[in-house]
Amino acid sequence: MPFLTSPVLPEGTLSRQSQPDIPTTAGLRLRPWRAEDASAVHAAFQDPTLHQWHGRSCDSPEEAAGWIETWHAEWRRESGAQWAVVHADTGELRGRAALREIRLRDGVAEVAYWTVASARGQGVARHATDALVRWAFDEIGFNRLELMHATANAASCRVATKAGFAVEGTRRRALLHPDGWHDMHLHARLRDG
């Protein structure tokens, strides 16, 4: 059955190019993940806060290396785009910024982020999100970016709001975490406002 509209973003929009480095403000940059980041990812996921809000653990650097391989494959499949957020001068890992659940036909993706424990409260997630949004709208042409977080995660809500994502509603019992079901705030930004 044919579609009545053309895709917002054609197939190949991402995969026909190399995943870029994206500069940010505040001395940060987003760069594609590297195999040698596996130990830093593993170390980041030893933090109980990441377990609380992300529902994943990482048992070894080898497991983290597998994640990095998966993140590269997502770029090639155009289903996700994951970046390491690093200090621009030292290259030290500060967090992650990502587009998940990419639907090129609709021009929609979900923004996700986390920061390492030592980087929290410094605006890392906000600056990374701002840079990712600019790239997604201005360089690629996405129409809508969504962002979800547990309603109990006040820090993530502050990042979303400061990055210009309007709250659109609450998805009740939308995500299961180790401590039970979480209601999720749905935020969104549109390309033209």
For a pLDDT cut of 90, what percent of the chain falls above it? 89
174: Cβ contacts below 8 Å, ≥ 6 apart: 148, 181, 182, 183, 184
Q: Note the pLDDT tens digit of each residue in 9-67.
A: 999 999 999 999 999 988 999 999 999 999 999 999 999 888 888 878 899 999 999 99
Decide: helix, strand or coil at residue 174. strand
pLDDT at 55: 79
Question: Do residues 8 and 141 make contact, with C-beta atoms less than 8 angstroms apart?
Answer: yes
| pTM, rounded to two decimals | 0.94
Kindly report the number of other CB atoms within 10 A of residue 87's CB atom: 15
pLDDT at 54: 83
pLDDT at 26: 87
